[in-house]
């Protein structure tokens, strides 16, 4: 199995440890370090997977992410009315610098799991169903309480549409390819993030996001033919079938 996937699975173990209440405030698990490590993992992973395309994906995802966040913060369109606190660090025009990086990071790992713009955009929504109810308590605030544990439904609709635009610009082909290793990493990432909800008393969002992720991945994997699977699920031997390069915060 390639080094980039070993690094990915080591990260989810690290994130699991960072999620445990006993270790949350203990270095090296505190002060937002897990987020920075995830971004570093994305940069390393995408440089190996995409080659020269890594820069293009970063520019598209981070650039559009910043643009829509800037419009959203100042107008309420398309996500809803919200503002960022100082919890995510330095800001430019009301948008923390880390947010465009997270658009690129999460977008890359969703698109790596399933090379299909609509399905990858849906995976992005499931991630946001996991993180938004918790982190909108600290790192951003909605000006009016929404329908999903305080988050407006318009936010999730817009997450899907913005993600879809990013993926379609980067690689507009609708052909589906399933990357088993990417799927496994995605599931483990959602699992770790949902544990943060659970330990914070948000049991319902934790169960909803985990269930949706599992159902989505199972349906995708069971309804795709073997020829559409870019890689088999990881095995002890680390052997893979097929070839081709995978494509790629609130």
How does pLDDT run across 47-95, given as a tens digit for each residue? Answer: 999 998 999 999 999 999 999 999 999 999 999 999 999 989 999 999 9
- 97 vs 93: CA distance, rounded Å: 10
User: Measuring CA to CA, how many Å separate 180 from each of 95, 100, 188?
Assistant: 34, 27, 12
- 232 vs 60: CA distance, rounded Å: 29
Q: Is the pLDDT of residue 236 over 90?
A: no
| Average pLDDT of the residues of the chain | 88
- State the total domains in the chain: 1
- 180 vs 160: CA distance, rounded Å: 22
What are residue 231's DSSP bridge partners?
A: 179
Domain that holds residue 103: 51-231
Residue 145 is predicted with a pLDDT of 85
Considering the domain boundaries, does residue 192 fall inside one? yes
- 137 vs 160: CA distance, rounded Å: 22
Q: Confidence class of residue 242 from pLDDT cuts 50, 70 and 90? A: very low
The token duo for 149 is 């544990």
Q: What is the pTM of this model?
A: 0.88
Considering the domain boundaries, does residue 105 fall inside one? yes
Find the mean pLDDT for residues 166-185.
88
Q: Is the pLDDT of residue 237 over 80?
A: no
Higher per-residue confidence, 238 vs 165: 165
User: Measuring CA to CA, how many Å separate 96 from each of 25, 38, 93, 143, 218?
Assistant: 22, 17, 8, 18, 35
| High-pLDDT (> 90) share of the chain, % | 74
Find the mean pLDDT for residues 41-52.
94
Considering the domain boundaries, does residue 127 fall inside one? yes
Query: Of 90, 140, 88, 129, which Cα lies nearest the Cα of 106?
Result: 129
Considering the domain boundaries, does residue 20 fall inside one? no
Considering the domain boundaries, does residue 124 fall inside one? yes
Where do runs of H (alpha helix) occur along the chain?
3-19, 33-50, 53-75, 98-113, 117-135, 153-170, 180-199, 203-223
Considering the domain boundaries, does residue 32 fall inside one? no
Considering the domain boundaries, does residue 154 fall inside one? yes
Q: Is the pLDDT of residue 179 over 80?
A: yes
Count CB neighbours of 209 within 10 A: 25
Beta-carbon-side half-sphere exposure of residue 37 (alpha carbons within 13 Å): 17
Find the mean pLDDT for residues 197-212.
95
User: Measuring CA to CA, how many Å separate 156 from each of 108, 115, 131, 237?
Assistant: 18, 21, 12, 39
Considering the domain boundaries, does residue 216 fall inside one? yes
| High-pLDDT (> 70) share of the chain, % | 89
């Amino acid at each position: 199995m390639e080094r980039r996937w070993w690094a990915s699975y080591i990260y989810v173990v690290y994130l699991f440890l960072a999620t445990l209440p006993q270790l949350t405030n203990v270095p090296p698990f505190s002060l937002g370090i897990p987020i920075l490590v995830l971004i570093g993992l994305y940069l390393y992973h995408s440089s190996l997977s995409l080659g020269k395309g890594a820069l293009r994906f970063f520019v598209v995802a981070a650039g559009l992410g910043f643009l829509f966040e800037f419009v959203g913060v100042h107008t309420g369109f398309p996500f809803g009315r919200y503002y960022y606190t100082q919890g995510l660090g330095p800001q430019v025009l009301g948008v923390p610098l880390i947010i465009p990086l997270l658009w690129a990071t999460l977008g890359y790992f969703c698109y790596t799991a399933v090379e299909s713009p609509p399905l990858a955009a849906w995976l992005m929504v499931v991630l946001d169903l996991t993180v938004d109810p918790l982190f909108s308590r600290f790192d951003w605030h909605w000006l009016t309480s929404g329908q999903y544990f305080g988050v407006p439904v318009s936010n999730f609709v817009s997450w899907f549409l913005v993600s879809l635009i990013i993926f379609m610009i980067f690689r507009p082909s609708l052909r589906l390819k399933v990357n088993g290793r990417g799927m496994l990493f995605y599931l483990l990432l959602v699992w770790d993030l949902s544990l943060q909800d659970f330990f914070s008393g948000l049991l319902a969002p934790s169960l909803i996001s985990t269930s949706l992720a599992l159902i989505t991945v199972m349906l995708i994997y069971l309804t795709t033919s073997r020829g559409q699977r870019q890689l088999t699920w990881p095995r002890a031997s680390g052997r893979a079938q097929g070839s081709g390069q995978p494509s790629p915060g609130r």
